[in-house]
Structure 1
Amino acid sequence: MNWLDVVWLIVIVFFLVRGAMKGFFREIFGLLGVFVGLIVAVNYSQGVGNIIRGEITRLSPQIAKGISFAIIFVGIALIGGLIGLVFHGMLRSSPVKGIDRGGGLILGLLEGGVVCSVILIFLTISPLAENADRWKKDSTISPYLMKIGPFVYDSIASIVPGEAKKFMEKIDEFKQGLSERR
């Protein structure tokens, strides 16, 4: 066990506790808000960016697209969170409160694993890739975490295959745009 494993355990325990405190409905609607927000933001940030750029002409296309991405993503994620808050409030004094908390704990574990997996994937494509490979090699937990992100993506892709493919194409375009600016 190395320092990276300790970081992963801290992140996962944080999400476990947070999930148990928030409960299943707040967690699930929050996650849905994040996933839907991400998909919508990736697909519509260009169009909304053009509208923003039409109103504020001094913005570059990249900045307008970034602002529109943030507005769309945060807005939809907040709506998902608010819906979850309403459901959680209705269950506060219900006999199924324990089930809500237990489900939240499980979703918190999944969320923590996904966050760690995304960080690991980002590290492998970042300028820190050489260091990240060495850190991962000495880590006990990292090989397992590296499998979570792709598993979740494949699961989502099997539900909405067309959208998942378009999403990955947009992500590839975004990555190419970043590499061209270097």
Structure 2
Amino acid sequence: MNSLDIVILSVIGFFAVKGIFRGIIIEIFTLGSIVLGYLISIREMSLMADVLKHYLHIPDVLSNVLGFAVVFTITVFIFRWIGLSLKKFAKWSFLGWVDKSGGVIFGAFKGALIVSLFLLLESVLPPAEGLKRQESESMLFKPV
């Protein structure tokens, strides 16, 4: 086990521990709120931009940016509120341990995905001699 393995395990471990505290419900609703917030904002920003232009008398570019930001923020807020409500229900119905167990798994998966994306990005960049040696000696580089 070399320093690259330690970094990989540290990142995955950090996200797994974070998943314990947040639980799978919050983890999923946070990720879902960002994805859905983006998709809904792209679709509905022009409607919000028209409303903002009418009431604030601002330029088109600024109204589009603000329209996206407003719709995104509202969408994320609503989905996170739903997630928090479901988490409270899970805690109330004694399913908190399922929430936390799922959070560990989801958090570890999210950490592994982030490490994989970083290593994929690193593989496209010009090779650094020390890092290539670390990769060849690493036990976790190929599986992740």
What percentage of aligned pairs have identical amino acids? 22
Count of equivalent residues: 135
What does 1:133-148 align with in structure 2 at a 5 Å threshold? 133-134=125-126, 138=132, 140=135
Structure 2: tracts of 5 or more residues without a match: none
1:109 counterpart residue number: 108
CA distance in 2, matches of 1:112, 1:45: 32
TM-align CA RMSD: 3.5
- Range that drifts further, 81-90 or 9-18: 9-18
- Is residue 56 from structure 1 mapped to residue 56 from structure 2 by the alignment? yes
What does 1:1-182 align with in structure 2 at a 5 Å threshold? 6=7, 11-59=11-59, 61-114=60-113, 133-134=125-126, 138=132, 140=135
What's the CA shift for 1:101?
0.6
Compared CA separation, residues 14 and 75, structure 1 to 2 (3 A) = farther
What's the CA shift for 1:81?
1.1
Higher RCO (C-alpha 8 Å, min separation 6): 2
| Deviation digits for residues 113-134 of structure 1 (CA, Å, limit 9, x no counterpart) | 555667788xx6xxxx9xx713
2:36 and 2:75 in contact (8 A); partners too: yes
| Deviation digits for residues 2-38 of structure 1 (CA, Å, limit 9, x no counterpart) | 78x84x6655443322221111222222222222111
Q: Which amino acid aligns with 1:89?
A: K
Aligned partner of residue 126 in structure 2, secondary structure? helix
2:52 and 2:58 in contact (8 A); partners too: no
CA distance in 2, matches of 1:142, 1:70: 38
TM-score, normalised by the number of residues in structure 1: 0.56
Which one has a bigger Cα radius of gyration? 2
Moved over 6 A (4+): 117-121, 141-145
Compared CA separation, residues 12 and 53, structure 1 to 2 (3 A) = farther
What's the CA shift for 1:67?
1.4
Q: Which amino acid aligns with 1:19?
A: G
CA distance in 2, matches of 1:20, 1:14: 10
Compared CA separation, residues 47 and 104, structure 1 to 2 (3 A) = same
